Amino acid sequence: MKKEKEKSRELDQLDLTILSKLMLDATRPYTEIARELYVSSGTIHVRMRKMEEMGVVKGAHLVIDYEKLGYDIVAFLGIYLDKSSLYDEVADQLAQIPEIVSAHYTTGIYNIFAKIVCRDTTHLREVLHDKIQKIAGIQRTETFISLLESIDRPVDILGRKNNEKAD
């Protein structure tokens, strides 16, 4: 936790503004951001390189509409382990299942909460039965099918209030 606070102290308002703009659209050219912030594009490159070296920026990814690729089911899976100490072993096995797109070690009733993307309910059943539930250390699972994703946004690192307009 202390290292995270130290990292945030090394970031200034310009760094946070650059990050905020790229979090909304990672494809924006640095030259466009530089023009908006009245700095050189070289400044943006240097700042981004610094934040990558600090581990603040860990890369970029595409946001895919899986439904348009034939993946119609998004489900969340609460996983109960036989023992919490099995987490690392089970997480390593879960990482080998391509349909699992994220997994979190959690507090509460589940040890692991995972997000799964599948083509249809038959595919989901196969993943659950043939892959996940066969992993040693998993006691049982609970599945929640998503009907609609209402919110998917980055954290507001600039601390704007809801009524303030973003740049």
Task: Quick: pLDDT tens for 31-76.
Answer: 999 999 999 999 999 999 999 999 999 988 888 999 999 999 999 9
- Does pLDDT of 7 surpass 60? no
The C-alpha angle 62, 162, 63, rounded to 5 degrees, equals: 5
Give 10's pLDDT tier (boundaries 50, 70, 90).
confident
Q: How far apart, in whole angstroms, are the C-alpha atoms of residue 140 and residue 126?
A: 15
Read off the tokens for 18.
């650059």
The mean pLDDT of 142-159, rounded to a whole number, is 94
Percent of the chain past pLDDT 90, that is, above it, reads: 83
3-state SS assignment for residue 89: helix
The mean pLDDT of 102-124, rounded to a whole number, is 97
Helix axes of 30-37 and 13-24: crossing angle, nearest 10 degrees: 130
pLDDT tens profile 79-101: 999 999 999 999 999 999 999 99
Give 163's pLDDT tier (boundaries 50, 70, 90).
very low
Give 115's pLDDT tier (boundaries 50, 70, 90).
very high
**Cut 0.85: pTM above it:** no
pLDDT for the residue numbered 3? 54
The mean pLDDT of 119-127, rounded to a whole number, is 98
Question: What are the chain's domains?
Answer: 2-54 (1.10.10.10), 66-145 (3.30.70.920)
pLDDT for the residue numbered 8? 53
DSSP-assigned letters across all residues of 2-61: HHHHHHHHH--HHHHHHHHHHHH-TTS-HHHHHHHHTS-HHHHHHHHHHHHHHTS-----
Q: Which of 144, 131, 140 is nearest to 95 (CA)?
A: 131
The mean pLDDT of 120-131, rounded to a whole number, is 98
Residues in the chain: 167
Read off the tokens for 124.
């989901």
